[in-house]
Amino acid sequence: MIVLYYFSGTKKVVQMKKIALITGATSGIGKATALTLAANGFDLIITGRREELLDELSVNIRSETAAEVITLCFDVRALNEVKKAIESLHGKWENIDLLVNNAGLAVGLEPVNSGVIDDWERMIDTNVKGLLYISRLITPGMVARESGHIINISSIAAHEAYPNGAAYCGSKSAVRAITKAMRIELLPFGVKVSSISPGMVDTEFSKVRFKGDKERAANVYKGLTPLYAPDVAEAILFMATRPKHVNIDEMIIMPTDQGSARDFRRR
């Protein structure tokens, strides 16, 4: 907030728009969150690995909302890229009010005895280490200002392990534990920390998990109505717009047709 004083002695309060940084904004939940926040008064820093999709999203945001937006193209798994990108922010863009740690993925669906180690490393490096890298670089500013909010995107897999998902479930369980620790660590500075754990969401998730096998990915959603990315984005907006004294620590959001990580109503 900025207070402007005029020669008459009167003053006018100008409410500054909050700035949100969203990782993994090129598709799915990240893209929907960017569009939702932009339409609800946030200026945005959108990040991801696919520069052409970031540029396309930024054009859409500018044409459809009054939000200002900048793009940062980098891989959250690469610490040097993360540091270079965050250190490139200047002026008002350094003062990030909301960090949405959304970048994440599942790759492969094999038991631990035949799992692909490269798949495990991609999941752990993205879902866990990438989240920590970004948080390490942005939280000092929040601590110094004694304000800010971090929302980590977890999964129902953090609450209920399932066969053939050891590495993914483990990575999202780590996100849940990291979120709880961050909540306690940042408590003295008034920084909010939350997590949201969606069930089945119809995004690129299954296509990535099955390494481009569109038929296998489509079968995941066959006979039921999953969540869609805007459903989760609306929940994120709700979390991010609570009064200063309210922190939503954790939210689980599921399709009506899903009762647990493995139980579904298919028709």
Q: Is 162 a catalytic residue?
A: no
The phi and psi torsions of 69 (rounded to 5 degrees) equal -145, 140
Least confident of 120-124, 151-155, 214-218: 214-218
The total number of residues shown for the chain amounts to: 267
Confidence band of 1 (pLDDT split at 50, 70, 90)? very low
Using an 8 Å Cβ cutoff, are 109 and 165 in contact?
A: yes
pLDDT tens-place string over residues 133-142: 999 999 999 9
Mean pLDDT of 209-218: 87
Considering the candidates 5, 168, 221, 228, report the single residue annotated as catalytic: 168
Q: Are 233 and 29 within 8 A, CB to CB?
A: yes
Residue 160 burial (10 A CB sphere; 0-12, 13-18, 19+): middle
pLDDT at residue 218, as a whole number: 86
Least confident of 3-12, 63-72, 192-201: 3-12
In the chain, the domains with their CATH numbers are 21-253 (3.40.50.720)
What is the sign of the dihedral through the CA atoms of 166, 214, 48 and 19?
negative
